[in-house]
Amino acid sequence: GIQTFPSRFKQCCVKLSVQPSRGLMDEKFVVLVQSVPPGFQLTVHALHQCEDGHSWEAFGHYTADASGNVNVSEDPSLGGTYTGVEPMGLLWSLIPVPGSKSGLRMRKMNVQTPMEVTISVYEGHQTEGFMDQVALAGVVVERWYMAPGVRRIPITEDGLTATLFLPPGPGPFPGLLDLWGGGGKLVEYRSALLASHGMASLALDYLTSKITMETGKMVGNEYFEAAYRVLQQHPQVLGSRIAMLGLSFGTSVTLKMAAYSQVVKLRCAVCISGSHVQPVEGSVKQIMVGSLFRTRFNEENQVIWRDLLLPIPTDPSLKVDVGRLQCPLLLVVGEDDQNWPTYESAMDMKEMMERAGNSHLLTVLSYPNAGHLIEPPYTPHARASTFKSVQTPQKFMALWGGETVAHSRAQEDAWRKTLVFLRENLYGGRNPGATSFANL
């Protein structure tokens, strides 16, 4: 309920601090409320307006301790968009404000500006009407994908549509080719964050690239090999230390390149929420088209694609021969993925690699109740969102799967382990010239 305290308390005394108030997207922050009466009930609220104009909010209900303090990192939320001790609940539990249209997914388009979040304190345990109330205190927090000193370089050579992100400093740095999935577009935020952690990362648009838009033809293997060469030949990149990271359809490309390309020689590969099932001789277009015919819908008319590749074929011409892989492979799997049969695919890859004798190269991270879109930490979970495949003009509501708390935990854990895996494989081994990453 609402408690009444002398009005002068409200005006002057509530202290709110967020540390750091400017940080990377995957950094934790500490939210402290001080100087309220002991036992005071309050709501800590986060508000973010996306670049597309949609507003998102999250909030937790807290009770001040005997000293009149609330520490969001240590104290439990008693209600709101998250409950319990959740240091970063104000970010990962963000949901569109009441009255928003359905199917929204939060994605940063311009990585050269921060995500701004307003953290506020309200009196009492509130659940709605925040815009109509006066906050007791408020502070604006900046969350960046690009660390200070990271350089963003658009790449158009060799017909590529790509952006290179270079870490601060002279380098040379290990390189990474970053591929997203079937929605196309040039998506930069993950690459920017990887560069903030010391890797020269090339975000590549391979489905809606300028060349495809102009000619109507989808790109072939040579496009990915050209992207690899741009990294390999860059003066600030260690040409012998390059990785590939793919999500969803990007996994199909990553596995194919890693197994069969004569040009692409990887130190390691990371595949998130994808599969090795694809016609080995097939082009990007055939792989995409093949996956559109066996679509089913749930009762809310959301598209479920995970059955398309099931059962996992036994015909070797219908899947990448992962037994050929010679570099370490990290598979990240959400066991509630409704978009791709990632768990079944991972188990089949494991079996294939055991038969071929290269399973020592395989690491599988599998997360119960996590969905398809396993993104950098604290990215709000979208169980379903509107999606336009490159192949179809109409928009769908795609069901990605996942349960918010489990999915958020998975994002945090997978990102931490992915960074460790990349560092061990890209910096490890013999090369005194590699930049130290003790400070990253």
- Give me the active site residues, please: 248, 337, 372
Task: Indicate the pairing of strand 30-34 with strand 15-19.
Answer: antiparallel
Over the Cα atoms of the chain, what is R_g? 23
Is the separation of the CB atoms in 158 and 263 below 8 Å?
no
* Burial class of residue 12, CB neighbours in 10 A (0-12, 13-18, 19+): exposed
Residues in the chain: 440
Q: What are phi and psi of 183, to 5 degrees?
A: -80, -10
Residue 348 exposed, middle or buried by CB count within 10 Å (0-12, 13-18, 19+)? buried
- Inter-residue contact 275 to 350 (CB < 8 Å): no
Distances (CA, A) of 391 to 122, 176, 222, 373, 397: 47, 27, 21, 20, 15
**Tokens 């009466």 label which residue?**
37
Reading the block at residue 424, the tokens are 């061990």
Burial class for 156, CB neighbours closer than 10 Å (0-12, 13-18, 19+): exposed
3-state secondary structure of 290: helix
> In 3-state terms, what secondary structure has residue 46?
strand
Phi and psi, residue 215, nearest 5°:
-100, -15
Strand-pairing partners, residue 399, are 384
Diameter of the chain measured on Cα atoms? 76
DSSP of 160-208: --EEEEE-SSS--EEEEEEE--TT-S---HHHHHHHHTT-EEEEE--SS
Please name the residues in contact with 32: beta carbons below 8 A apart, sequence gap of 6 or more. 15, 16, 17, 18, 19, 69, 70, 71, 72
